[in-house]
Amino acid sequence: MIRYQKGFKFWIKEGDDKFIQTDIKGYYIVTKVVVLHANGWLHIKKHFGSDGGTGVKTTKKNSRGFFTHDALFYLMKTRELPCTKENIKQAGMEMQKVHIEDGVWKWLARIYNFGGTKFGGKYANPKNAPKIYKTK
């Protein structure tokens, strides 16, 4: 059986797992596609899907940041990581940090953070999780 979730444009391919050091510490969460270690390391595994940046072009410079943000929101949507204002804000800060590390201008990384936190925060709430469709 294949799982299809409407809205994803980008996928982590085999051998292209992402490892990001975050400041979200004290949790040990393991899912099939995302692992958050107690020391803050975020491991985004193959087959994790992202919709990229909402309303912006996703590029090599900003894709890892958007994957980071979406992986943390995924953990909140699935109730693995508490969906609090602090964690939503921290997910935006982690995205901003990764964007700057990957060469996105600081002012633009701040705009992505603002947009993702202000307008995207509701999508971290488990009540607003998109439907998952199963196909054979």
Tell me, yes or no, whether 95 lies in a domain.
yes
Tell me, yes or no, whether 33 lies in a domain.
yes
Residue 3 banded pLDDT, cuts 50, 70, 90? very low
How confident is the model at residue 2, as a pLDDT? 31
SS3 annotation, the chain: CEEECCCCCEECCCCCCEEEECCCCCCCEECCCEEECCCCEEEECCCCEECCCCCCCCCHHHHHHHHHHHHHHHHHHCCCCCCCHHHHHHHHHHHHHHHHHCCCCHHHHHHHHHHHHHCCHHHHCHHHCCCCEEEC
Tell me, yes or no, whether 107 lies in a domain.
yes
pTM for the whole structure: 0.84
Q: Specify the number of domains making up the chain.
A: 1
For the segment 56-100, what is each residue's pLDDT rounded down to a tens digit? Answer: 888 888 989 999 999 999 999 999 999 999 999 999 999 999 999
**Which domain, by its residues, includes 14?**
8-123
For the segment 27-40, what is each residue's pLDDT rounded down to a tens digit? Answer: 999 999 999 999 99
